[in-house]
Amino acid sequence: MRKLKRSTSIAAVLAALAGTAALATATPSSAASYHCTTSSHSVDDPSYNGPDSDNWDLEVTLCSMRSGGYIYTNATVYWDGPYTAKNRNTYTFNKAKFQLQTKKSVSGTDPVVKSAAYTGLEYALEHSSSHGNGSYSTGTLKYPAGTGRYLADGYIQLDWSGDGKDYRSPVLFTASPVV
């Protein structure tokens, strides 16, 4: 019975990390072998100069796994936005995306072998909780694994409403361990 409880607990944790049960079932059954790195970055809203706090504290977990001849990569974004985010909601961003990348690890710059832009991040950010918090999970990229080692990498790009500019410089995060 203890083994069953542990398996059930692990499955529940993995489903939470994946974001949804549908996403969890779309990944290979050996999801316990994901290798992840979490890093954070604080971003100031350049379009707001009022007296309230306007920083968005972003945390990203990038994960990679090798299973059944494939490399699987995904990411989850967590944030602690300003409590006033709920008041500005759909007026905060013109666009926002998370760019997930599967890279082959080589000496020098790691080449991107597969990439996807997840623009649903804008909606998630603009519909934060009443305290300005939330999370967003990307889908899972699947890439045929050749020889060599691979990793998950990614960045966030934000286009703030009211600042008259397009996407700002990418907000970079630490890549996953190499698998």
Model confidence pLDDT, tens digit, residues 111-165 = 999 999 999 999 999 888 888 899 999 999 999 998 899 999 999 999 998 888 9
66-89 average pLDDT score: 84
C-alpha 157/C-alpha 151 separation (Å) is: 20
For the whole model, what pTM was predicted? Answer: 0.79
Between 62 and 5, the higher pLDDT residue: 62
pLDDT digits (tens, 9 = 90+) for 13-51: 334 444 433 333 344 444 449 999 999 999 988 877 777
Residue 40 and residue 171 in contact, taking contact as beta carbons nearer than 8 Å: no
Between 109 and 129, the higher pLDDT residue: 109
Residue 126: name the closest of 100, 161, 171, 155 by CA. Answer: 161
